[in-house]
Homo-oligomer: A and B are copies of this chain.
């Protein structure tokens, strides 16, 4: 036990060193509940503040889907401050830490500040236990700063307060992102396995375009159920992107894709709908069955897109797998979920494809 304690202490002490050296706690802080600032990245204003979807309203969705929509993936708090230091105090559940995601991505925070017209990384809120209080960034100037604090990707945020120096102010920010591009999909969309919340791919698309890419990723559960289509159809979306093909079986794709799209089309007669094939999983690099399954998923969705086109569905676009993760097989953490390198490569393919369809300009 003494050894264990010492080990924990050493590990914590060493790897956390940069967090503490420049993150001295100051005595006088004003804390502001996130509810008094602006929440961005949410499809509607309904439901629990930190939930992505009002799961009480859409109570017929599958239980796993409802549970996952309580995760705050893709949500961020917009505020402005002139404080030289920014702190956060937040609470998450006491649950299991996923083995293929950092605790920071699952339960932590990261802050971006706008400089020279670009959103730039400023610091992280490294999660401790259930409730954590942490300096996110310190020793800044006292100029007015536009801030965007990303929330945990794979957990239900229970509360969040943002702290600034008592002699500084903190105000509700504006939504820096226009329109609503609703992205529905799998764990990869939800953020597995980005290293921190702001590195999930819809967040990166938003920051580099100024458009609001809304993260409706559902770990393992982007399976195109009818009830989920109904919920999506209620959103006043400017475009839909369906990046869910990693999750349903080839049979489920064949059975559900047409109904799913037609349900959206009923309430959105002209809205662009983009369907993306699944990335080729590196689990299939040597595992022949895994490789074959992905091939069948991609063939199944290609066939259903053809069916939809033959039915005369307009403004339907299809992005085919195009070595999204590169060719060296190093773009995933576990064969399935991209690491930040894989996401970067994926975005180099997604951006021009989405840009061409939606006439959106992305920064590199």
Interface residues as binary, A14-35 with B (CB distance below 8 Å gives 1, 0 otherwise): 1111110110000000000000
A3-11, A158-166, A233-241, A305-313: which lies at the B interface? A3-11
Q: Does A334 contact B (CB under 8 A)?
A: yes
A15 lies within 8 A of B101 (CB): yes
Name the interface size band of chain A.
35 or more
Judge if A120 is at the interface, Cβ distance under 8 Å.
yes
Number of copies of this protein chain within its complex: 2
Contact call B124/A334, Cβ cutoff below 8 A: yes
Check B339–A195 contact: CB distance below 8 A. Answer: yes
Query: Which chain B positions have C-beta within 8 A of A95?
Result: 4, 7-8, 11
Contact between chains at B127 and A99 (CB < 8 Å): yes
Q: Which of A201-250 contact B (CB under 8 A)?
A: 204, 219-221
Minimum CB–CB distance for A83 against chain B, Å? 12
Task: Give chain B nearest CB distance to A82 CB in angstroms.
Answer: 13
Once bound together, how far apart are the Cα atoms of A99 and B7, in whole Å?
Answer: 15
Contacting residue for A99 out of B10, B98, B102, B193, CB 8 A: B102
Q: Which A residues, 155 to 193, have Cβ-Cβ distances below 8 Å to chain B?
A: 187, 192-193
**What 5 A-B pairs come out closest when comparing CB atoms?**
A14-B220, A195-B333, A99-B103, A340-B341, A195-B339
